[in-house]
Structure 1
Amino acid sequence: MKFLKDKEKETEALRRTINEKDEQLQLMKSAFIEKQMETEALLQRVYQMEAQLQQSRSALIKKEDEHEKLNQSFQAFHQQQNHNARFLKDKEKETEALKRIINEKDEQLQLMKSASKEKQMETEALLQRSALIKKEDEHEKLNQRSTCKEKQKETETLLQRVKEMEAQLQQSRSALQEKDEQLKSFKDRVAGEVAVSIKTGKTMSLKYPVNKNRLKEMYEDLRCDWPKIKKNLKSNKKHPDSVKELILKEFQDAKIDMRNRRKMIDKVFEKGKNDGGMPQKVDQYRQLTVQNLQMTLYSQKQDAGSQKPFLENEAANPQDVLKYLGSECYWLGCLMALNNPPLQPDWENHPPSMDRWDVFPRNIRTASDYE
């Protein structure tokens, strides 16, 4: 009985601690109080059974024949005590669980305090940074005002210099106009006499520096190099889709760049027509200019020499191979775009293949300016 009373006191002390620590455990406290009431009821029952036992012991003195019945009652009481002991152990486990919950709540509260302190420090730092930025902004405005005054003085000086340069430019324009008249006279004399053959490994005329047949030959040379290029890229784990995208991009970029250059040339010679030039000669000079641009691009590549990597070596740097491939596609695309009419690989009629490395069409075709 003393053991039960001690346990009761310990449970009461724990209940008071739980009430002080966390109001959120109120529901659990209520359940605990209910359990305690059950314990008190059981204790009351025990007291009643003890009274009955006392009566039974008195009756035992008087009635020996009831000894067996009292013995059975005592065994039942012993079982009830065992049950109470197990119940108390369960209560101890519940108490330990409540202690752990209280500790966890304390840890969470500590973490929240630490987080709050960090946020406060961050806020103070931001306020300090805001004040510093405000000061810098004010300083910058002062500097801008000072710079604006200096710029105004520089602008006045530049305007004066521009006026002087305009006077000089007018003199230069007069001299240039005289030179243009002399050059026009010279072109009129020699325009119909230009028909010279040039050797660059292939026979070409100056009128058609890189004609359609030559462009087909150069495209076939690129297609002949493709198996070696493809072998190197495949051995270096390059993806065929990315390689195909590079090839298409270089041909497309070349077409767009050369189209823009031709538009610039057309614009210049269109002005010549509007200024009273002979349309036939203006068109002739325009075509010669495009052909000269085409010949320049072709000659620059030939004069610089081949930068082709050693394609037979599978261990060659794949980046060098890709760079060479892109350069060749762009260069050939420029020459095709400057042809009259412009040409391009026949992408539309290139049949789909199971081989994802089958990129280059077999033929080239005339390209529209609007593609």
Structure 2
Amino acid sequence: MSYQHCPCLESTKKDLEGIKNQFETLIANIMLPCRWYEKKDTEIEKDREHKQSIAEMENFYKTELDKVRSDLEAERKKHDSFKQRMASELSPEIESRGDLSEDITNPCRETQLRKMYDQLQLVEWPKIKEAFNSSGYDPSNAERLVKDTFEVAWGDMERKKKDMKQLFSLDSTTQQSTKKVSEYMQAAVRNLQMALFYSQKADVVKDQLSSLRITDLQVKGIRNHIFAECYWLGSLMALHNPPLKPNWQCCDANRSVNFPPLIIPSEVEKFQWNFNN
């Protein structure tokens, strides 16, 4: 009998095939969770790598942000230092001169002084002139008094500034002044200007009025008013930085109002506030 056609052998072979299939199915069922975990492990690894990448980016940008903050703080300090230097080096006329820029809280700034001068010309002067006419006095006397009073105020303030320069040893013939002393000198002049601004006009001109001799009480009162207004304003303009002065040379003889335009004398701009020369 041939073994190839043995029924027992064929049956055994089929049984082995069945066992093999069952084994492979069992192995597949066992490996299925393993593959799932394997996949999860891969995803977890990718997630870990992603988080690590994000952490590295966060560290990078944090470092860059700290650097930017440091640079910004350095620039801010440089800017503050620059502003302090500029504040000490810029001419003090910056804060009060109208064609540059002004401190609007300063009541003696250039534009305000010009407004007060215009007010004196347009409002006060017509009243004064009419009072002189009504009293029978020549209005030209009042016009001369206006000019003389502004000139007296200018001269008095020039002498005060000269005395202050000598007090601070700022005369160019004595010694070279330090920058700090010059700044305090200018501050003293500005303080004098502010003291005059807040003073009573009658008190400011008390000594000067005693030298003017007029017996007519009505005219004396008008004269005192003219003198007080013009001397007070003329003093403020003379103490301004740079000083302001009526330009009497351009006055037209035919003008009915003797209030010429205000100017900044060229010799004043060149010398008056150049304390360091």
* TM-score of the pair, normalised by structure 2: 0.49
Q: Please state which structure has a larger fraction of its residues in helix.
A: 1
Give the structure-1-normalised TM-score: 0.37
The structure, 1 or 2, with the larger RCO (C-alpha pairs under 8 Å, 6+ apart) is: 2
Bigger-Rg structure (1/2): 1
